[in-house]
Amino acid sequence: MKMEMMGGIKMVAFIKNIGFPRFMMSLLLVVILVTAIFVGIPIGMVMTDLIQRVGMYGIIVLAMVPSIQSGTGPNFAVTIGIVLGLLAATTAIEFELVGTTAFIFAILMALPLSVIVGILYGKLLNACKGAEMTIATYTGFSIVQLMCIGWIILPFTSDIMRWPIGRGLKTTFTLEETFKHVLDNFLKFNIGNVEIPTGLLLFFFLACFLVYSFTQSKMGTAIQLGGMNNKFAVASGVNIDRGRIIANVISTYLGAVGIIVYSQSFGFIQLYTAPLMMAFPAVAAVLIGGATASRAKVSHVIIGVILFQGVLTSSMPVLNEIIPFGSVAEISRMVIQNGIILYALTKVDGGH
Amino acid sequence: MDNEYILQMKNITKSYYGNTVLKNVDLSIKPGEIHCLMGENGAGKSTLMNVLFGMNVIHSTGGFEGEIFFDGEKREIKSSFDAMNLGIGMVHQEFMLIPDYSITENIKLNREITKDNFVSRLFGPRLKTVEYAKMGRDARKALDKVDMNIDEWISVAGLPVGHMQFIEIAREIDKTGIKLLVFDEPTAVLTESEADNLLRIMRRLADTGIAILFITHRLDEVTQVSDNITVLRDGELVAKKKTSETTSREIAELMIGRKVEITGKEKRDVDRTKEPILELKDFKVKMPGEEVKGIDLKLYEGEILGIGGLAGLGKLGVANGIMGLYPTSGEIILRGEKITNPITKEMLEKKIAFVSEDRKAVGLVIDASIELNTVFTAMNINGEYLKDYKFFTLRDKKKIQERAEKMIRELDIRCTSSKQMVGSLSGGNQQKVCIARALTQNPEIILVSEPTRGIDIGAKKIVLDLLRKLNRDYNMTIIMTSSELNELRSIADRIAIVSEGKVAGILQPEDSDADFGLLMAGKSLDENGNDGGDQDGSIH
């Protein structure tokens, strides 16, 4: 009896320690994976899918860290960075670059764009302190809509991207001839029937390491403490507004790099309204990873993206197996994804 | 005999969590009397009023002991509604007015005059029609009583504070059957002429038979208007006097009066013939609630300058202003260099450290470790505790840990490790972390505000000893701002008393209680023909 009590207390302490959302999602993931084995889904395929998706989405999730740390909350406007990344990628294709060159060009090209737009966006956030998350959401939406016009009127000439007749770029086009899988195929190897996209994972972990290093730098520390208690930082001579701008420039750039990495892995570039809702899964992932609206670490990103994408990718084939009629699985996917997002958003812990 | 008094509070004792804040306090007021309740911050005035109004903070913490008689009968006041029904009113220090409502609506708030209509007969009294005309007439009457010839229908928003104060009073006297009116520091926000006006109206109200309980710390107002005085000190009743039989000097002494232990305090030689290390000239700080309205002050190298005074009168604004945390005007002369509009970063770079009075909001990052709290300012200002990799820098974890551990040892910070979050430390230990951060910055001047606020006695002594040690052994120049006069007198070399945003005078620690009391209560010493022992002639 006493032992059981002790066990109970330990269990509660354990859940408290890792956080309830993280615990719930881990539990869900385990349940789904076990079910997958029982209904006879090849686990190797699920793992391959999971690992690839972690690499694909990871950097966009990583973009949440600087903005949360600076006190502007999860970057719902990461779509700004995504749009800029798409602009850089299309420019690379327009210049008829292919393979690694195209990929590197896009990544470099996104930097100046992100700096300029990030500064403007940071200034906007500083002008409306206290309502950052709302402002971010609508700024993100607006930019995507604005670029819907942009994709039509920008003077691109590449036949890969243009509609065969009329003006403007296609909504979706393949990267087959340009930079599809340049990271995924780098040093790729198999463990059993699980495929490991080494380049993709290395790139993701490199980005994590760089962001982690930044949080350990003088400026990163100042931004972080400014986010936790801005009066304290002001009294220590920190320029809070500047820190918030820098953090959002970095976040925007990570969004841009994130979509380039995503696209090369996906094999297609999707324009127009495709980026509209991309911020939400990223925000949800970091929150599930253990972050709050005011605290985030790189470890939250890694844990969060694995749990979120893990549940999403593994639940699909399982549902297909259990409910094999038409679009039920697709509808379930929407329910699951949005359910997780909603659940994560309730864990934001309000404000600042 | 009981009928002689409108209110009698007998043997009121109240403690919060074992900490006694009121001990056997008596208070008796007759109808038509203006009775002053006096005491320093924390003497127990507010608690006594909370008891009188049956506030929740009293009942939710175990109630109080003692009896309250009102109008000759023993009463149980369980809520402010009970108090209101008995005829006790309060004019608040902070205005409780709704800005977008008219003066009439504010006066009649929650007591609107209503009549039945068709809907209210069906759906109940909440839907009755409000009779504006009648309300306006009542409001007019109440406003006339306080000499306000302002239109009763204009909205409260944008009115000067003086007007708002009078509207509050009008609201109270409009209540029928009001028998006792409590004024909680009503003159704090008023100009002199408005204050005079208010005192005149108080007298007039008293003459109509209403008893008035007047809480203030301005001695001249007390002697001018009141009939009787009750003085509280540290939760105890120290005196009940007739105003005509006492002097402001005596009252001041009673308010402060405690034995000051000046232990281990050898007089030190501070060279005040040299140029001051820091000088303020006509220095003004717009800090809300602690506004500094033009002070001149000199700080000499190697001294501990105390800044004392009552809460809300500007003493805290001085250090915050020097650090550039609030808008300032006037001049700071630091080591001969003239500074206007100080910028926080530059002041920190000029080797001034600041320990804020607001430990949790400004002094610390609650969710960060002792290590980070300790070194952050030094890291940000001096670029220390960093590893330089040419193109970027990273925190030097080893050095940071060493420094934090050194501070933990030297300041005796009780913690499990240097990585512990400061939020989980006790108040005293948090304060030590604040001081550790200031020291890590390696300053020459350190501004410490309210260093002992909210920490226990043992920790207080350690903090004060630490400040003294820094001053004696490392020749650090210190400005210590504190509400605890006793502490200032035990460690400071000179004490400037700030009142109404100005320096009321500079005293020596061993000067008499009465002098301190008079200065704190806004009287200058010259008026009393006493020069207060200001040996260095730097009264401004």
pLDDT tens digits, one per residue of B257-268: 654 444 555 556
Q: So what's the ipTM on this one?
A: 0.81
Interchain proximity A239–B345, CB inside 8 Å = yes
Q: Give the domains, in start order, of chain B with CATH numbers.
A: 2-93+176-256 (3.40.50.300), 98-155 (no CATH), 270-351+445-450+472-540 (3.40.50.300), 359-442 (3.40.50.300)
pTM metric for this prediction: 0.74
* Alpha-helical regions (H) of chain A: 2-18, 20-38, 43-62, 64-69, 78-94, 99-127, 132-153, 198-215, 218-228, 230-235, 240-266, 279-288, 298-322, 328-346
Q: Is residue A320 part of a domain?
A: no
Question: By the CB < 8 Å criterion, does B356 face chain A?
Answer: yes
Q: What is the number of alpha carbons within 13 Å of residue B296 lying toward its C-beta?
A: 5
DSSP B108: T
Name the strands in the sheet holding B211-215, side by side, starting at the edge strand that comes first in the sequence.
Answer: B73-75, B65-70, B7-16, B19-29, B236-242, B228-233, B34-38, B211-215, B180-184, B88-91
- Rounded to the nearest angstrom, the minimum Cα separation between B35 and chain A is 42
Residues 6 or more apart whose CB falls under 8 angstroms from that of A274 comprise A171, A172
Q: In which band, very low, low, confident or very high, does the pLDDT at A275 lie, cut at 50, 70 and 90?
A: very high
- The tokens describing B176, both together, are 């029928």
B370 or A325: whose pLDDT is higher?
Answer: B370
- Give percent of chain B above pLDDT 90: 25
Q: Do B279 and B297 touch, CB atoms closer than 8 A?
A: yes
Test the B interface: residue of A229, A294, A349 with most B CBs within 10 Å: A229
Q: What is the residue type of B247?
A: T
Residues 6 or more apart whose CB falls under 8 angstroms from that of B127 comprise B117, B119, B120
Residues of chain A with Cβ-Cβ distance to B362 below 8 Å are: 229, 231-232, 235
Rg (CA), chain A: 21
Question: By the CB < 8 Å criterion, does A38 face chain B?
Answer: no
Give the separation between CA B446 and CA A294, rounded to whole angstroms.
Answer: 32
Please say if the pLDDT value at position B153 is more than 90. Answer: no
Please say if the pLDDT value at position A116 is more than 70. Answer: yes
Interchain proximity A218–B383, CB inside 8 Å = yes
Residues of chain B with Cβ-Cβ distance to A242 below 8 Å are: none
Q: Is residue A138 part of a domain?
A: yes
* pLDDT for res A338: 82
Mean pLDDT computed over B271-293: 88
Range 280-299 of A in CB contact (< 8 A) with B: 295
A174 or B289: whose pLDDT is higher?
Answer: A174
Residues of chain B with Cβ-Cβ distance to A221 below 8 Å are: 372, 376, 379-380, 395
* pLDDT for res A320: 78
Mean pLDDT computed over A62-72: 94
* pLDDT for res A62: 96
Q: Which of B319, B324, B349 is nearest to B335 (CA)?
A: B349
Q: Do B139 and B174 touch, CB atoms closer than 8 A?
A: yes
* pLDDT for res B532: 41
Strands (E), B416-475: 445-449
* pLDDT for res A342: 80
Please give the tally of structural domains in chain A. Answer: 1
* pLDDT for res A348: 63
Please say if the pLDDT value at position A294 is more than 70. Answer: yes
Residues 6 or more apart whose CB falls under 8 angstroms from that of B480 comprise B304, B305, B306, B307, B448, B449, B451, B467, B487, B488, B491, B492
Facing residue for A225 by CB, picked from B363, B376, B383:
B376
Q: What is the number of alpha carbons within 13 Å of residue B531 lying toward its C-beta?
A: 8
Interchain proximity B344–A237, CB inside 8 Å = yes
B401 or B44: whose pLDDT is higher?
Answer: B401
Q: Is residue A264 part of a domain?
A: yes
Q: What is the number of alpha carbons within 13 Å of residue B181 lying toward its C-beta?
A: 31
Q: Is residue A290 part of a domain?
A: no
pLDDT tens digits, one per residue of B68-83: 998 888 888 888 888 8
Q: What is the residue type of B283?
A: F
User: Could you tell me whether strands B328-334 and B278-285 are parallel, antiparallel, or unpaired per DSSP bridges?
Assistant: antiparallel
Give the separation between CA B176 and CA A224, rounded to whole angstroms.
Answer: 57
Please say if the pLDDT value at position B179 is more than 80. Answer: yes
Q: Which of B196, B323, B221, B296 is nearest to B504 (CA)?
A: B296
* pLDDT for res B1: 43
- The tokens describing A195, both together, are 């495929």
Q: Is B232 left (phi over 0), alpha (psi -120 to 50) or beta?
A: beta
Q: In which band, very low, low, confident or very high, does the pLDDT at A68 lie, cut at 50, 70 and 90?
A: very high
* pLDDT for res B375: 93
User: Could you tell me whether strands B34-38 and B445-449 are parallel, antiparallel, or unpaired per DSSP bridges?
Assistant: unpaired
Q: Which of A338, A303, A346 is nearest to A61 (CA)?
A: A303
Facing residue for B393 by CB, picked from A217, A237, A239:
A217
* pLDDT for res B352: 93
Q: What is the residue type of A221?
A: T
B355 or A324: whose pLDDT is higher?
Answer: B355
Please say if the pLDDT value at position B488 is more than 60. Answer: yes
Q: Do B359 and A185 touch, CB atoms closer than 8 A?
A: no
Facing residue for A217 by CB, picked from B323, B365, B392:
B392
Please say if the pLDDT value at position A9 is more than 70. Answer: no
Q: Do B396 and B379 touch, CB atoms closer than 8 A?
A: no
Please say if the pLDDT value at position A351 is more than 70. Answer: no
Mean pLDDT computed over B367-375: 92
Question: By the CB < 8 Å criterion, does B344 face chain A?
Answer: yes
Q: Is residue A4 part of a domain?
A: no
Q: Note down the domain range covering A70.
A: 52-184+192-276
pLDDT tens digits, one per residue of B454-485: 776 667 778 888 888 888 888 899 999 988 88
Q: Is residue A254 part of a domain?
A: yes
Please say if the pLDDT value at position B64 is more than 60. Answer: yes
User: Could you tell me whether strands B88-91 and B114-115 are parallel, antiparallel, or unpaired per DSSP bridges?
Assistant: unpaired
Question: By the CB < 8 Å criterion, does B372 face chain A?
Answer: yes
* pLDDT for res A87: 95
Test the A interface: residue of B344, B349, B433, B441 with most A CBs within 10 Å: B344
Please say if the pLDDT value at position A297 is more than 60. Answer: yes
* pLDDT for res B259: 45
* pLDDT for res A95: 92
Q: Do B353 and B445 touch, CB atoms closer than 8 A?
A: yes
Question: By the CB < 8 Å criterion, does A228 face chain B?
Answer: yes
Place of tokens 């952050």: B376
Q: Do A54 and A204 touch, CB atoms closer than 8 A?
A: yes
pLDDT tens digits, one per residue of A27-64: 888 988 888 888 888 888 888 999 999 999 999 999 99
Q: Is B408 left (phi over 0), alpha (psi -120 to 50) or beta?
A: alpha
